[in-house]
């Protein structure tokens, strides 16, 4: 599904990605973990074509990304910070994104129902709370039926009920055979949903595999301690 | 690109500032025409206002719009839309809505005044066309500045400096150099120097069209000989077009290589 080969990227003097090699197969939930500033978001933005790598290649379904924008039709993306043009109403924003993607079948109505957004449809985006904006963000990300879904910190600002609904939504998408890429700092959330984790440390892939594999590699009994032991080893 | 243009345009048309800008021109046109009652004087006053104000508003609006819609741009970048379409669409959206505020705001009072039955119609159209050109030029320059500066304050600073340079400082340097080199033949130099600044170029074009070039003395005669001809008019219009095309090309190029 996604193949990343020898990816390098630096911003000024700050080398963020130092040779990432990664292959993600079709189907399943993959969680990208790593400390702050390890390059998670940069990697995701490279896959989306928002950040242009210094060297290295990315293929999606065996097609290279360079000079290609149509492949983004196959990706649903949830950005980390939800900020929308304040002059627009929620319903207008949804209609606009639909129009831009020329999508025929969308499930925006189901999602609006799921996250109980009906009372906000005619409100301007500038007047919404952070959590409500995140729900709108989720509707925009999930309303198309793309085979690849990328979620950058999907849980931020959500109340417990919405959190639960989001989890069920992610599972139901997985059932359909989709590939889902999630970054999150909430380890209990990751442990619950992820089939495999990809751990990035200092711009390189430190570990890729299932959670039990990580536990045995670090000789820890629970997931949180396993992650902590990687981090303390790297800082020591 | 047209879809992005449409949404940027709608977004701006609904914002309060477009109305303020539109009403300002409407008011200016009404006051000048109905309190003054002299059409060519009104056109000259308008020229002075347009030549300073249009570039200023174009740069400020362009920079402001770019920085304000940065998060939204990121949302668009993740959609299956070409990068160049996003930025060119936004640019044309901003520039078109500003140019429309100008043309409609000034046009309405003149239409009611009866411009269509008057001989000043061509002077007035030239005024509006150069005003629209200036809007497109300075909005494009503003987008180039904003795209190449992540820092908002720096971007604003450079934009204001650019306006100050084009509208005020350039003329100062131009005049100083004319005084300094007055022993040499300067007609070619002053023609070239005028061509290279869109603000000066617009001013000279309008002044000569108004047939008051006699006021400009010797340079006026040289300019009249050049700009008064068809060749001069075509060349200067082409120059204004180049001033739109070159920055637009830079928007396209910078957008293609930028990280978000």
Contact A166, A158 (CB under 8 A): yes
Range of the domain at A215: 2-235
**H or E segment to which residue A80 belongs:** none
Say which CATH number the domain at A58 has.
3.40.50.300
pLDDT at B183 over 90: no
pLDDT at B84 over 80: yes
pLDDT at B77 over 80: yes
Q: How confident is the model at residue B216 (pLDDT cuts 50, 70, 90)?
A: low
pLDDT of residue A57: 86
pLDDT at B211 over 70: no
- Tally A–B CB contacts below 8 A: 57
Number of domains into which chain A is organized? 1
DSSP labels, A115-126: TT-GGGTTSBGG
Does B259 sit within 8 Å of A50, measured CB to CB? yes
Determine which of B1, B7, B75 to mutate to test the interface with A (most A C-beta atoms within 10 Å): B75
Query: B11 to chain A: which residues are within 8 Å by CB?
Result: 85, 87-88
pLDDT, average across residues B210-220: 63
- Name residues 144-183 of chain A within 8 A of B (Cβ): none
Nearest by CB to residue B81, choosing from A75, A81, A100, is A100
E strands present in A34-128: 55-60, 63-64, 75-78
pLDDT of residue B116: 72
Token output for B122:
């061509």
Range of the domain at B144: 2-257
Nearest-angstrom CA–CA distance, A40 and B208? 61
DSSP labels, B102-169: HHHHHHHHHHHHTGGGSTTHHHHHHHHHHHHHHHHHHHHHHHHHHHH---HHHHHHHHHHHHHIIIII
Q: Is pTM, for the whole model, over 0.80?
A: yes
Nearest-angstrom CA–CA distance, A169 and A172? 5
Nearest by CB to residue B79, choosing from A81, A88, A101, is A101
B81 to chain A: closest CA residue? A69
Nearest-angstrom CA–CA distance, B135 and B62? 10
pLDDT of residue B219: 62
Residuewise pLDDT in 10s, chain A (236 residues):
888 888 888 888 888 888 888 888 888 899 998 888 788 888 888 888 888 888 888 888 888 877 777 888 888 888 877 677 777 788 888 888 888 887 766 788 888 888 888 899 888 888 888 888 888 888 888 888 888 899 988 888 888 888 888 899 999 888 888 899 998 888 888 888 888 888 888 888 888 888 888 888 888 888 888 888 887 876 65
> Looking at CA atoms only, how far is residue B248 from chain A in angstroms?
20
Number of domains into which chain B is organized? 1
| Residue given tokens 């990304």 in the structure block | A65
> Looking at CA atoms only, how far is residue A69 from chain B in angstroms?
6
For the ranges A61-65, A232-236, B21-25, B47-51, the lowest mean pLDDT is seen at A232-236
For the ranges A103-107, B6-10, B68-72, B174-178, the lowest mean pLDDT is seen at A103-107
What ipTM does this complex have? Answer: 0.80
pLDDT of residue A5: 86
| Residue given tokens 């304000």 in the structure block | B68
């Amino acid at each position: 599904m996604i193949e990343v080969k020898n990816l390098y990227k630096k911003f000024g003097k700050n080398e963020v990605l130092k040779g990432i090699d990664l292959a993600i197969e079709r189907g399943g939930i993959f969680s990208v973990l790593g400390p702050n500033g390890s390059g998670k978001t940069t990697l995701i933005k490279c896959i989306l074509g928002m950040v242009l790598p210094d060297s290295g290649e990315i293929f999606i379904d065996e097609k290279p990304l360079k000079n290609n924008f149509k492949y983004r039709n196959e990706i649903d993306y949830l950005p980390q910070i939800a900020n929308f043009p304040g002059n627009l109403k929620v319903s207008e924003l949804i209609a606009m994104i639909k129009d831009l993607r020329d999508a025929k079948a969308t499930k925006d109505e189901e999602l609006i129902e799921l996250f109980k957004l009906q009372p906000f449809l005619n409100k301007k985006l500038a007047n919404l709370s952070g959590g409500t904006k995140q729900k709108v963000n989720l509707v925009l990300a999930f309303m198309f039926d793309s085979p690849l879904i990328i979620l950058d910190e999907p849980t931020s600002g959500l109340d417990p009920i919405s959190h639960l609904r989001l989890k069920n939504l992610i599972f139901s998408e997985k059932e359909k055979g989709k590939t889902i890429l999630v970054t999150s700092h909430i380890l209990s959330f990751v442990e619950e949903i992820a089939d495999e984790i990809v751990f990035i440390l200092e711009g390189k892939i430190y570990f890729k595999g299932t959670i039990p594999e990580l536990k045995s590699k670090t000789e820890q009994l629970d997931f949180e301690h396993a992650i902590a032991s990687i981090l303390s080893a790297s800082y020591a | 690109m047209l879809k992005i243009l449409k949404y940027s345009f709608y977004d701006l048309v609904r914002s309060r500032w477009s109305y303020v800008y539109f009403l300002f021109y409407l008011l200016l046109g009404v006051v000048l025409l109905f309190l003054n009652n002299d059409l060519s004087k009104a056109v000259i006053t308008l020229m002075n206002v347009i030549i300073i104000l249009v570039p200023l508003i174009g740069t400020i609006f362009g920079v402001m719009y770019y920085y304000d819609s940065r998060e939204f741009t990121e949302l668009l970048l993740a959609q299956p839309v070409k990068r160049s379409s996003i930025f060119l669409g936004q640019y044309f959206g901003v520039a078109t809505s500003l140019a429309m505020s100008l043309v409609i705001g000034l046009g309405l009072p003149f239409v009611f005044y009866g411009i269509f039955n008057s001989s000043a119609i061509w002077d007035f159209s030239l005024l509006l066309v150069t005003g629209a050109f200036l809007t497109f030029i300075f909005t494009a320059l503003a987008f180039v500045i904003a795209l190449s500066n992540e820092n908002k304050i720096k971007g604003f600073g450079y934009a204001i400096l650019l306006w100050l340079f084009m509208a005020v400082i350039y003329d100062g340097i131009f005049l100083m150099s004319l005084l300094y080199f007055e022993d040499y033949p300067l007609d070619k130099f002053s023609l070239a120097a005028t061509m290279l600044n869109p603000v000066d170029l617009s001013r000279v074009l309008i002044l000569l069209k108004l047939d008051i070039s006699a006021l400009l003395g010797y340079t006026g005669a040289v300019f009249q000989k050049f700009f008064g001809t068809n060749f001069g008019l075509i060349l200067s219009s082409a120059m204004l077009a180049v001033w739109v095309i070159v920055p637009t090309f830079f928007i396209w190029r910078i957008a293609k290589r930028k990280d978000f």
